[in-house]
Structure 1
Amino acid sequence: METKAPRQRIGRAERERQILEAAAAVFAERGYQNASMDSVAERVGVTKPVLYTHFGSKEGLLLACITQARARLLEVTAAAAAAADGPQDMLRHGTKAFFDFLDAQRPAWALLCSETAISAATCSALEEIRRQQTDLIAGLLAAQAPDADPQRLIGWANVIVGACERLAMWRSREPQITSEQAVEYLMDLVWTGISAAPPMHGEERRPGGCRCGHNVLR
C-alpha cells in the first residue's frame, strides 16, 4: 500500500509572505471591496481561518500588504540613491528605482495608488509611505548640502515625491511611457529648478541657508 509523504510544515514567516503576495494580487485584480478572504485563502492554499489567525481581518491583511510594499520601496530607492555619485545622480537613480519598483510590483503599486481608502488607518498607512519617501529624499539632499535651509530641502522633497506619484499614475494610463522617459521628464523640471536655486551669501544668508556662495546643490 502506497503511503503519502508527510505534508511539509511551513514556518510562520514564509506562510505570511505567501499570504501577503496572494492578497496583494487579489486586491489589485478585484479591488478591496470586491476581494474576499475566501479568494485569498484559495490562492494560497489555506483555510480562511488561517488568514484571520495571521492578520485578524481583511483590513488587517490590506494594511500588512501596504506595510510590506512600503518597506520594499524604501529598500530599493535608498539602495539606488546610496550608490549614486553626487546629488544629480542620486535623484536620477532614486526615481528610476521608484518607477522600476512599480513596474516590477504591479500589485504593490495598485495598493499604493489606491485613494479609495476604507478607513482612517488605511489613509494613514498610505500617507506614511509618502512621508517615508519625503524624509528619505530630504535626508539625502541634506547630506549633499549640510548648510542648506532644512525647510527648503523638505519642500523640494515633497515636490519630488508628488511629481513621482503623478508621473506613475500617468504611466499606468499610458504604458508606452518608459521609466527612463519618466525620469527624464522629472529631471527636466525638478533638477533644473534645484540646481538653479539662488546662492545665499554672508549676511544675506537665510536661517539655515548655505554660506558657500554657490547654488545649494551643484
Structure 2
Amino acid sequence: MPREEREAQLVVAGTEEFGRAGYAGASMVEIARRVGVTKPLLYQYFGSKDGLYLACLHRAGGRLTEGVATTMAAGGEPDQMPLKVLAAIFTTFDHDRYAWRLLRDATVPATGDIAAAAADYRRRLDAFAVLGATQLLTSRGLADPVDIEAVAQVWTGVVDSLISWWIDRPDEDAGAMTARCARIMGGLFGW
C-alpha cells in the first residue's frame, strides 16, 4: 500500500482511538491493530504518540475551521447562520465524529506542540463564535461587547454539548441532526 494511503488509515484509526479514550488513555498498539500494522511501523510513520496525535488534530481542526470559515464567508441572514454553522460541523464530522473530541481533549499535555495546536484551533473557533454573535446581536440592534462575548461563550458550549450528544447516536446522520437542531432552534427562538 502506498505510504500516503497507509498514513491516512492510521490517522483515521488514531482519531477514533484518541476521540474515544483521550490522549492519555489511547493505545498505540490498538491503533496499529485496527489498521493491521505493527506498532513499530506506526512509530516509523509518525515518530511518537505526539506525532500521530498532532496529525489527527491538524486533520480535524483544519477540516472544521475551513468548513466554518467557508460557511460564514458565504454570508446570509444572521438569524440563519447558527444553523448553517451547525450543519457545516455535522457534515464535516458525519463519518468521523470522534475528531471533534480532539479539539477539547483535557488529557493532552498542558505544554508543547499539541497544547499549542489545540489552543490555536480553539482560538479560531472562538473567533468565529464572536463574529457570529456580533452579526446576530447587531442585526437586532444590540452592540454591547460584553453581551457579544457572553453569547459567543454560550454558543461554544451549546455546540460542544450538541456534538457530544450526537457522537453517542451513530444512527443519526448529519442531515437528521441538522433537522433536529432546526426544530429546536425554531421552537426556542422562533427561527
**Aligned mate of 2:130, from 115, 134, 138:** 138
Range 92-101 or range 144-153, more displaced: 144-153
Structure 1 residues 159 and 124: CA distance shift in structure 2, 3 A: farther
Give a deviation string over 1:55-97, Cα, whole Å, max 9, x none: 3321332233122211111122222233342212222201222
TM-score, scaled to structure 1: 0.63
Range 138-147 or range 95-104, more displaced: 138-147
The percent identity for this pair of structures is 34
User: Could you say what the CA RMSD is over the residues aligned between the two structures, in angstroms?
Assistant: 3.6
Opposite residue 158 of structure 1, the aligned amino acid is Q
Unaligned runs of 5+ in 2: none
Match of 1:216 in 2: none
Match of 1:178 in 2: 177
Aligned 8 A contact 2:87 2:178 in 1: yes
SS in 2 for 1:87: coil
Aligned 8 A contact 2:83 2:178 in 1: no
Structure 1 residues 100 and 188: CA distance shift in structure 2, 3 A: farther
Give a deviation string over 1:2-41, Cα, whole Å, max 9, x none: xxxxxx6435xx5533321121133345554554323323
Matches within 5 A, 1:16-95: 16-28=7-19, 32-95=23-86
1:160 aligns with 2:151: no
Range 177-186 or range 17-26, more displaced: 177-186
**How far, CA to CA, are the matches of 1:171 and 1:10 in structure 2?**
33
Opposite residue 51 of structure 1, the aligned amino acid is L
Give a deviation string over 1:122-180, Cα, whole Å, max 9, x none: 55554443322121232355568599455543432222111111222233456768332
Structure 1 residues 186 and 130: CA distance shift in structure 2, 3 A: farther
**Aligned mate of 1:96, from 83, 87, 111:** 87
Higher helix share: 2
SS in 1 for 2:3: coil
Structure 1 residues 173 and 39: CA distance shift in structure 2, 3 A: closer
